[in-house]
Structure 1
């Protein structure tokens, strides 16, 4: 208890708990860990700031407090999935627990190799489940709940894909007047893709220079690389409006264009009732290529995700439609061109604009939720010890401090804490977004995707062919839809997913499906309606009043 008190006093502040409540949690961990003292447990996660804090600080704290030695490995996201697949296919215990994106929820509940946490916490793992875990406090619990109503993963960190823009430039009266003169409406946060395109054109082709520096109205990346896949699987089609209504994911057609009947995937191709190669998806890909070519810096098309990420902080980008809040800490560093002399950001983040196929009630973008995942192939004693550490990293004693370090909030109570009210002005809208009712419209890949590792790799290869001009956007999306359906067909024939496995629809004409209600949606006569913007300060005020 003396060791725990030292950590609580020196490291785990602030907290939403009183010190007395923190010490009660620590006492519970010490007692629950007694049967496992002396064990050495191995867990793994991808390399981001939040997980570095866990690996370097929380693992050490847990080891000292409980006597269970934790080795928390940090590796690339693709390698995490590879290790997970190896364990699932071989049954050999590679790691005792994984922080694995909730994008794999559809994979996990279908293959039956992941421990459903709802059953675990009330059954075999009851004696090692923290009484004050408070699952309802986790903002991302709907992302990790399967169609059977069970929780399969526990969120550990999450970040959204939002719109980023130079608030200081948008506030300039000369630029506001020039924009209104050219486009006939106010320069502001774009509500739709038409306005985003107008603003991109405005800065790239009309403004061109600010303070002697060449500026661009858009930033993106386009290199043929696996990270190009994330650019699309992370809900680009849903932002255009390709799927159906439904939160957290469209039903029956989701943001990848996969249709389900009950819980069974029945196809991606429009000919099977999917929307992966429908008009809205082709529009989405076309706009991505068009904007990259016309409005982004020339070098952007040869960049990967990690190379493009730091570019807006260099100070010559006006806006970015596809920007992860995981970059917040880097964008808020004092001394960079996008932070003023008082340490306040010159930029803000806001909701992503939507394409012309989007309708009210649809998801509006992507949210990553790295989540603790337990496999049945891990021996029960090791699983229990690993579950203790997993809960320690998200317990209320430590979660608020962890959120301040990594800026990837998981608990509603943490983001509403007064310490974040104080810090909010330095974070460019992150706090306001996560406190707003709008946050529910940003969600990870949903349960329609039956095998995320197999299907996700198809995206970057097909999209790249359209980026290079080898194929038209329609041809590229046709290829993707056909390849996805072939994977679904193989899964169906192999019968490896006894629960909610694929059952492909017979093919019918495109016209048949495009004439049905919902997705896939027929091509619009006008894919560039009137641009619409909103003042950022009015948007924040509406959130504070509880409006979406």
Structure 2
């Protein structure tokens, strides 16, 4: 009976699959040939890199690990294709969950608060760099790669090749996150309409300057007014000069924290973020946040922030389709591709793949876009040396609460999906470039005409002005949730823009005060300034800035083709 039972058990195991994981160089070569092309490195070097992964993964063969990211095309490719490849090559089984961005933050917060392992690694926005740096619960990758994680750190990782390391580096100079994908928030417009002689002539007759890519918000407003109120119809269809969204929803917060105030010119000069005041209006002294309100030296309720909020509401109601006010981020995203929008000031390059699909109204019969993306225009408070917009940098984050063995296995997977063996193919799939070598590859030179300016932007020196939330924000999850509710009050008219920003600044200072009392963030935690007469701060140089006498200077535009030529010249210098 025992013999029969043993035999039955063995047969069941056999039917369930091999007990020993088959993984190695033959599997790697198969993936290199069938999936991991093109690549910026030769097949020979791809094989060498995979040999290193196979050897480094040997102690973890047969393990099952869990990682998580938001749902983007890039991460879908990782979850469905690269996780499978990693398992077949290394023998480490990865469950790569795809959930909403807010849910990723919630899971991360839960792990931080409970100190219990939920996921073995997270891809979360580098917007949390200030949080990770201060709470010290995220693994310091600089120390990790030199110490405990040295044996599982890819010698071919080539950190210098990553575009976004400055976004994931703390004020202490240490790396806390490893970029996995990036996309910027740019200006989008109908290149074909902007080139029509009759439209160009009519615009110049009314406004006195050339129709082109707006350099400042004055020009953007003129163009919005022109298409919505003067042109009205193109080829028999109703058109609008602006697109946005305004529903009371958490995504309304992203509309502002994703650097709307930086575009207006709220903060100080500084790349990647303004110092001492950033685009959230938070002032730091040393490494400690000292206030959001103007009375404490912050700028969340300063004139530039009020101006930016006012313009957002005014343009939404005057120049966008009527239904836009009731839309969320995800609902509004596809609208420009439907063919009725002339321009959009706040457009994520993550939409590129969908906007470039054949058969849509914004693609021509030969598969080329009728639209282009270009640098965002800036408001009247902006000056040279300031950031000009937002760039998302989804980045690998390890937590100290994750057992070391599981952390090592997850670190191998994280490096695998950003390795030079796979990164170029991944970038072609998701169009979220993060390595310089990928975006400058010949394969992207060939593809550039079909991507509406994405390649040209990421190759340009201008891209450094588009950055994520920086280190001034000490607790991103707690502070970010305050924004959408206060902005919504201004959109609905329940509060004026000034009242809404006053409330937001006050609430942010309350959070900073609680963090200060707790002492949990150590020497770089908040140390609030005592409030004084706001006029004292407004009369000092830098941010917070006093109200301008004229918030609508002369509109300025630039020809798109000339702009691209200037980028090419700068690259070659």
Q: Distance in 2 between matches of 1:109 and 1:123?
A: 19
Aligned to 1:368: 392
The answer to whether the aligner puts 1:284 opposite 2:299 as a matched pair is no
Q: Distance in 1 between matches of 2:323 and 2:111?
A: 40
Aligned to 1:294: 318
SS at match of 1:160: strand
Mapped contact 1:268–1:482 kept (Cα < 8 A): yes
Aligned to 2:543: 519
Q: Distance in 1 between matches of 2:163 and 2:532?
A: 40
2:184 equivalent among 148, 152, 160 = 160
The answer to whether the aligner puts 1:181 opposite 2:212 as a matched pair is no
Tell me the alpha carbon deviations over residues 15-60 of structure 1, each in whole angstroms, 9 at most, x when there is no partner. 0000000000000000000000010000000000000000000000
The answer to whether the aligner puts 1:93 opposite 2:103 as a matched pair is no
The answer to whether the aligner puts 1:338 opposite 2:333 as a matched pair is no
Aligned to 2:330: 306
Shift of 1:112: 0.7
Aligned to 1:229: 253
Q: Distance in 2 between matches of 1:17 and 1:464?
A: 49
1:380 equivalent among 397, 404, 422 = 404
Aligned to 2:433: 409
Which moved further from structure 2: 493-502 or 393-402? 493-502
The answer to whether the aligner puts 1:151 opposite 2:175 as a matched pair is yes
Aligned to 1:64: 88
1:116 equivalent among 140, 144, 158 = 140
Q: Distance in 1 between matches of 2:365 and 2:305?
A: 43
Q: Distance in 1 between matches of 2:121 and 2:110?
A: 14
Q: Distance in 1 between matches of 2:453 and 2:30?
A: 34
The answer to whether the aligner puts 1:4 opposite 2:28 as a matched pair is yes
SS at match of 1:396: coil
SS at match of 1:343: coil
Aligned to 2:42: 18
1:139 equivalent among 158, 163, 167 = 163
Q: Distance in 2 between matches of 1:174 and 1:158?
A: 38
Q: Distance in 2 between matches of 1:169 and 1:68?
A: 52
The answer to whether the aligner puts 1:460 opposite 2:470 as a matched pair is no
The structure with more radius of gyration? 2
Shift of 1:100: 0.6
Q: Distance in 1 between matches of 2:60 and 2:223?
A: 59
Mapped contact 1:193–1:354 kept (Cα < 8 A): yes
The answer to whether the aligner puts 1:481 opposite 2:508 as a matched pair is no
Tell me the alpha carbon deviations over residues 57-95 of structure 1, each in whole angstroms, 9 at most, x when there is no partner. 000000000000000000000000000001000011000
Q: In the superposition, relative to structure 1, how do residues 503 and 128 fare at CA in structure 2: closer, same or farther (>3 Å)?
A: same
Shift of 1:496: 1.1
The answer to whether the aligner puts 1:507 opposite 2:534 as a matched pair is no
Q: Distance in 1 between matches of 2:141 and 2:435?
A: 18
Mapped contact 1:223–1:301 kept (Cα < 8 A): yes
The answer to whether the aligner puts 1:257 opposite 2:281 as a matched pair is yes
Mapped contact 1:466–1:472 kept (Cα < 8 A): yes
Q: Distance in 2 between matches of 1:242 and 1:85?
A: 29
Aligned residues, how many? 548
SS at match of 1:447: coil
Mapped contact 1:233–1:456 kept (Cα < 8 A): yes
Alignment TM-score, normalising by the size of structure 1: 1.00
Q: In the superposition, relative to structure 1, how do residues 499 and 15 fare at CA in structure 2: closer, same or farther (>3 Å)?
A: farther
1:81 equivalent among 100, 105, 111 = 105
Q: Distance in 1 between matches of 2:238 and 2:124?
A: 40
> Runs of 5+ in structure 1 lacking a partner?
none
Mapped contact 1:28–1:130 kept (Cα < 8 A): yes
SS at match of 1:243: coil
Mapped contact 1:111–1:499 kept (Cα < 8 A): no
Alignment TM-score, normalising by the size of structure 2: 0.95
Q: Distance in 2 between matches of 1:280 and 1:78?
A: 28
Shift of 1:98: 0.2
Equivalences for residues 411-450 of structure 1 within 5 A: 411-450=435-474
Shift of 1:499: 3.9
RMSD value, Cα: 0.7
Q: Distance in 1 between matches of 2:402 and 2:129?
A: 19
The answer to whether the aligner puts 1:359 opposite 2:383 as a matched pair is yes
Q: Distance in 1 between matches of 2:115 and 2:471?
A: 24
Q: Distance in 2 between matches of 1:332 and 1:217?
A: 21
1:491 equivalent among 515, 522, 529 = 515
Tell me the alpha carbon deviations over residues 250-299 of structure 1, each in whole angstroms, 9 at most, x when there is no partner. 00000000000000000000000000000000000000000001000000
Q: Distance in 1 between matches of 2:37 and 2:317?
A: 47
Shift of 1:370: 0.3
The answer to whether the aligner puts 1:219 opposite 2:243 as a matched pair is yes
Q: Distance in 1 between matches of 2:103 and 2:246?
A: 22
Shift of 1:322: 0.1
Shift of 1:347: 0.0
Shift of 1:424: 0.1
Aligned to 1:530: 554
